[in-house]
Amino acid sequence: MKGSNILFSNKGGRKINIFSHPFSNMFGLSQRCIIVAKNGGKIIINEGVGMSGCTIYSMESITIGRNTDIGSGCKIIDNDFHPLPYSERYPVERLDLLKKRPVVIGEGCFLGANSIILKGTTLGKNVVVGAGSVVSGTFPDNVIIAGNPARIIKDNKE
């Protein structure tokens, strides 16, 4: 959309792989990849990123680091999609009151299938997110996180 930006960066020469065909991931895909920048949103997807049937939806900013893998059905969102109070949704939805915060995913991360990365999340390098986790907050390099809400469950040593 006007004023928004999606950048696919392969400065190092490694391809970005986006898989949307139902048989491209043997875990199964329930949808094609959806990548949307709206109302001034910015998305940066760096070299070596691979994704399968995920949704990336920005109204602020989302940055995905080099060599990150995004599992089937994963959602990455930097906003609440709509105002939460009823009075701000009805009779006319007030998108100007929408809460938004940047999302930053570090290099070499792995986002497990059906995980949800919420607004304001920052993942360090080499973070593994367990399947089905709901992630909000800041996590350091080299950890494995899982759960709802996600928390550190162990170190992820190189």
Sign of CA dihedral 41, 32, 74, 64: negative
Specify the number of domains making up the chain. 1
Q: Is residue 141 part of a domain?
A: no
Q: Is residue 48 part of a domain?
A: yes
Cis peptide before 102 (omega within 30 of 0): no
pLDDT of residue 38: 92
pLDDT at 24 over 70: no
18 pLDDT tier (thresholds 50, 70, 90): confident
pLDDT at 59 over 80: yes
List Cβ neighbours of 137 (8 Å cut-off, separation of 6 or more).
Answer: 120, 121, 122, 149, 150
Computed over every residue of the chain, the mean pLDDT equals 91
Domain span at residue 46 reads 5-121
Mean of pLDDT values over 130-155? 97
Question: What are the two backbone dihedrals, phi and then psi, of residue 58, each rounded to the nearest 5 degrees?
Answer: -120, 135
List Cβ neighbours of 26 (8 Å cut-off, separation of 6 or more).
Answer: none
Coil, helix or strand at residue 144: strand
Mean of pLDDT values over 110-138? 97
Select which of 5, 31, 34, 82 is catalytic. 82
| Rounded distance between C-alpha atoms, residue 42 and residue 2, angstroms | 11
Residues 35-51 have pLDDT tens digits of 999 999 999 999 999 99
Q: Is residue 157 part of a domain?
A: no
Q: Is residue 140 part of a domain?
A: no
Percentage of the chain exceeding pLDDT 70: 94
Q: Is residue 91 part of a domain?
A: yes
pLDDT of residue 146: 98
Residue 58, amino acid: S
Coil, helix or strand at residue 101: coil
Annotated active-site residue 21? The verdict is no
Range with the lowest mean pLDDT among 51-60, 83-92, 95-104, 131-140? 83-92
Q: How many Cα atoms sit within 13 Å of 50 on the Cβ side? A: 12
pLDDT of residue 90: 85
pLDDT: is 52 or 110 the higher one? Answer: 110
pLDDT at 142 over 90: yes
Mean of pLDDT values over 130-148? 98
